[in-house]
């Protein structure tokens, strides 16, 4: 066992840190204040290869392993969770699904443009009445002579208003429950496809979030990702990668909290000495460091399992649960270290708290992660009160 990064991984991390400091940090405050989705920054992320880092080079990616990908996401997440959301959604949920489940034509059509940032994609799983239980989704795909007609509503979809292609999960046969789900690659310019921005979010204000309406959207048979019945597997395999990405971004938040708090505690003086001189302030910083380091190790473990092709669903949930809850706790403590100054956006810590808060909700809430971990440990599915056969449809 070696806890040191290889030279290659260290370089990946350092390059990502420099990029984040140079290109992302200067924009963060204004974008957050103005709830502005920074499309130009999304293009820059693509230009440096951060939108499809683990995608194979022949499809426009960088062919990196998951550890390398996690290191990039940590640095982007330290700088800005809205930019990190672009990386996570585009890479793990959209490109990852297409690369894993797509036909050769679908990969060639979409992956190069998505990896370069020329086009953005979104992942349309959640609906107004289907969140933790996606098997109950109501968007309906009906067979037509030359393809499918899709109608329904999607809710809380990141990048919905800027995406050129949407992965839409739809039910082909309600009697089959999760076994009837299919996933379609739907161009957002299709007739009957419309979006609406969602505003008023606690955090992630510079991230685009929207509702999607599908009104008899016609797509050809070739738009399906995988086959009828694969939709649930497409969603769950994407979330396995997405959760790692969210967790890595949260390590970045924890690290940002440590850095900001150490700097502030050494600079700010009270009672004639720097705050860092007080044991109670050091205690807050020490606890942040423990959480950051533990979260990072859990992320690296999950990434390593993925890189070796070993089962990792429970370990990924452990990393996601711990890193996201730690990010919330670290950000809260970092505000405390900053006193009143931590409550306004002159320092990054109040944004860290607002942005961290959603990470315990999306890509499976903390409760869902605990149920996955508990199921793995006991072999008993406690996700729903129904029979195990039926419950295979929960967001696991």
Asked if 241 is part of the footprint of ligand FAD (rule: CB under 6 A), the reply reads: no
Cα 6 versus chain centre, distance: 25
Least distance (Å) between residue 278 CB and ligand FAD:
37
| Smallest distance from ligand FAD to CB 125, Å | 3
CB of 369 vs ligand FAD, minimal distance in Å = 9
Does position 131 interact with ligand FAD (CB under 6 A)? The reply is yes
Segment (H or E) for 156: strand 147-158
In order of 91, 120, 149, 299, 349, the CA distances from 250 in angstroms are 17, 23, 39, 10, 13
**Spatial CA neighbour of 361 closest among 86, 131, 123:** 131
Please report whether residue 367 would count as binding ligand FAD according to CB under 6 A. yes
Residues 139-158: x/- map of binding to ligand FAD (CB under 6 A)?
A: -----------------xxx
Q: Does 356 bind ligand FAD (CB under 6 A)?
A: no
- Convert residues 200-239 into a mask of x (bound to ligand FAD by CB under 6 A) and - (unbound): -x--x----x------------------------------
- Can residue 125 be called a binding residue for ligand FAD (CB under 6 A)? yes
Report d(CA 216, CA 303) in Å as an integer. Answer: 40
Q: Is residue 94 close enough to count as binding ligand FAD by CB under 6 A?
A: no
DSSP E strands in 22-94: the ranges are none
**Nearest 10 degrees: CA dihedral of 236, 237, 239, 245?**
170
For tokens 């989705």, what's the residue? 37
- Please report where in the chains the tokens 């599908």 appear, as a residue: 214
242 binds ligand FAD (CB under 6 A): no
Shortest separation between residue 129's beta carbon and ligand FAD, angstroms: 8
> Among all residues, whose Cβ is closest to ligand FAD?
131
Which of 246, 358, 372, 373 touches ligand FAD by CB under 6 A? 358
86 neighbors 120 (Cβ within 8 angstroms) = yes
- Specify whether 390 is catalytic: no
Q: Which is nearer to ligand FAD, 181 or 371 (CB)?
A: 371
Least distance between ligand FAD and beta carbon 367 (Å):
3
Q: Does 166 bind ligand FAD (CB under 6 A)?
A: no
- Nearest of 396, 101, 41 to residue 227 by alpha carbon: 101
Please name which of 292, 282, 305, 233 lies closest in space to residue 67, comparing C-alpha atoms: 305
Among 23, 211, 315, 363, the active-site one is 363
| 362 counts as binding ligand FAD under rule CB under 6 A | yes
Show the tokens assigned to 314.
């429970």
Radius of gyration of the chain (CA): 21
Q: Does 123 bind ligand FAD (CB under 6 A)?
A: yes
> What SS3 class is residue 118?
coil
| Residues written for the chain | 396
Q: Are strands 121-124 and 165-171 parallel, antiparallel or unpaired?
A: parallel
For ligand FAD, the binding residue among 237, 259, 282, 365 (CB under 6 A) is 365
Give the interface with ligand FAD as residue ranges (CB under 6 A): 89, 122-126, 131-132, 156-158, 201, 204, 209, 358, 361-363, 365, 367-368, 371, 383-384
Q: Residues with catalytic annotation?
A: 363
């Amino acid at each position: 066992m070696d806890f040191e990064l290889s030279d290659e991984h260290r370089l990946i991390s350092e390059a990502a840190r420099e990029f984040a400091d140079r290109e992302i940090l200067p924009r963060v405050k204004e974008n957050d204040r103005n709830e502005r989705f920074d499309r130009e920054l999304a293009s820059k992320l693509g230009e440096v290869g951060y939108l499809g880092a683990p995608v194979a080079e022949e499809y426009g990616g960088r062919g990196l392993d998951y550890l390398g990908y996690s290191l990039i996401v940590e640095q982007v997440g330290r700088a800005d969770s809205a930019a990190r959301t672009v990386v996570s959604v585009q890479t793990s949920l959209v490109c990852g699904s297409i690369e894993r489940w797509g036909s050769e034509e679908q990969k060639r059509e979409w992956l190069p443009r998505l990896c370069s940032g020329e086009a953005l994609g979104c992942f349309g799983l959640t609906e107004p009445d289907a969140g933790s239980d996606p098997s109950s989704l109501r968007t309906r795909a009906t067979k037509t002579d030359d393809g499918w007609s899709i109608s329904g509503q999607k809710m809380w979809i990141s990048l919905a208003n800027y995406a050129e292609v949407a992965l839409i999960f739809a039910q082909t046969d309600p009697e089959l429950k999760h076994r009837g789900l299919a996933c379609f690659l739907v161009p957002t310019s299709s007739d009957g496809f419309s979006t609406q921005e969602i505003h008023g979010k606690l955090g992630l204000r510079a991230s685009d979030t929207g509702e999607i309406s599908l009104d008899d959207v016609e797509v050809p048979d070739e738009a399906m990702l995988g086959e009828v019945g694969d939709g649930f597997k497409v969603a769950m395999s994407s979330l396995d990668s997405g959760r790692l990405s969210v967790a890595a971004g949260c390590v970045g938040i924890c690290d940002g909290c440590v850095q900001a708090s150490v700097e502030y505690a050494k600079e700010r003086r009270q009672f004639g000495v720097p705050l860092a001189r007080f044991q109670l302030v050091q205690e807050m910083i020490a606890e942040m460091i423990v959480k950051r380091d533990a979260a990072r190790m859990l992320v690296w473990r999950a990434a390593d399992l993925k890189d070796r092709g070993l089962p990792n669903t429970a370990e990924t949930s452990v990393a996601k649960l711990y890193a996201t809850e730690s990010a919330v706790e670290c950000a809260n403590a970092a505000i405390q270290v900053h006193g009143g100054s931590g409550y306004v956006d002159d320092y990054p810590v109040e944004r860290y708290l607002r942005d961290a808060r959603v990470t315990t909700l999306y890509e499976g809430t903390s409760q869902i992660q605990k149920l996955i971990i508990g199921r793995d440990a006991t072999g008993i599915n406690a996700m729903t009160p129904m029979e195990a056969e039926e419950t295979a449809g929960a967001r696991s």
